[in-house]
Chain A
Amino acid sequence: MAGGMASASNSAGIYKGRAGLLILPSWLVIGFFLLLPVCMMLIYSFLTKEFRGGVIWEFSLAAYDQFFFNRGLFGDEPPKIEWTYITIFWRSLWQAGLATAFCLVIGFPTAWFIATRVPRHRTVWLLLITIPYWVNLLIRTVSMKFLIRDTGPLNEFLLWLGMIGEPIHLINTNLAVQLGLFYSYLPFMVLPIYASAERYNFALSEAAADLYAGRWTILRLIILPAVKPGIIAGSILVFVPSLGAFLAPDLLGGAKTFMIGSLIEEQFKGNAGNWPFGAAVSMILLSIVMTVLIFYARNQTRREAL
């Protein structure tokens, strides 16, 4: 079909008639090995659990029921709201939000500082920020664990300085998880803000200064609105992976700092072995993330339409 036909109608657009063929591999691979699996996961969340992992092909709402309601040990009591999993979600949202806020507070000044260097120095600063991102996340998290242990270098250093009298207990606390998340995703905040800041027209600052605005007024009224797209993009890039993070809570936290990632992992790898429940929790996580992303995309198109 392609041969003669294509060459005759090919005078406009070189890849005309071939575009569909070129895009096909992406559709096949991602469609078959990600889109289809996600649909399957949705189905699994409505099936009955098999005790040693896996499922029985029988429709059941048990997974979602287990998430939201407590019917007592034998399932015969009147349903009460089950707080265990909602608390885990709440903690995850809170931790992810906090990590986003911390990353913003440190990331914005950093991005701005880099964007205001001379171009030659900018690349060096930027490289310094990106290198840790390229280092294996597992290794980074393990390094953090090593650093902040009760007998780790951080505590020893502080003791040696005489700043503290006894080691600070950080490991297995929410603060340690928070530190891990912040450390894991900080570059994700810096880079998009930098991309926005780099395009900022400094004549705007000068115009504002000319109109009697002080330095911090300029930052608030002119610069922050101008780099807002970068801030939003950065926030999403930090928030979304933090929400489903596994390594930081698992390695740096303990039982009291349980987050969604660990909850899901436990259903498949751990002893609980409840696949439908794991699938249901994954679906709930996915819907939260997709809601955030759809809001973002909506906003983005509205911004472009302006």
Chain B
Amino acid sequence: MTDHTDFSPDNSEFGDLSEAQANLLFGLGRRRPVDELIDRLSEDDGPTFFEDTLMPGLISAYGGLVERMVDRSATLDELVEIKEKAKALKVGAEGEPQRLVAMAGYFFAVGTALILHNKLICSRPRTELQPIMLDLATVTPPPLSEIIEKAANPPSYSTL
């Protein structure tokens, strides 16, 4: 490493940004696959997209299981079924709408299973799942947002 780097504070906005701070913030620029869904839902027309496109897409892909997930009557087996269908859909997805439906099905099912049945039905570690659930909860309309937010910090759970 050279000694000649001059990052001395200047008078510009954020001119006092250090190299260490910059590296941490630069890393925040990375995008998880699920951010495609979160970003779409956080756009100005996100609520309309959820209502008019995503929900019909979920119902088309997962049938009546979606209604039982939303009204919190889904069994653990049904939630696992949604998750598995979502994984298959993601692999064969041909465009953004299918990818978003797949991701939404997957994470909504995982979150619902955590809260309704205290079961973690995926292999993702909690450290990875928690920020995803928190982010999803901020852009998902109720009633799903409530269960997704709770799923970020489930009181107790076990794995399948």
Does B associate with A? no
Task: Please report A residues at the B interface, Cβ cutoff 8 Å.
Answer: none
Task: Please report B residues at the A interface, Cβ cutoff 8 Å.
Answer: none
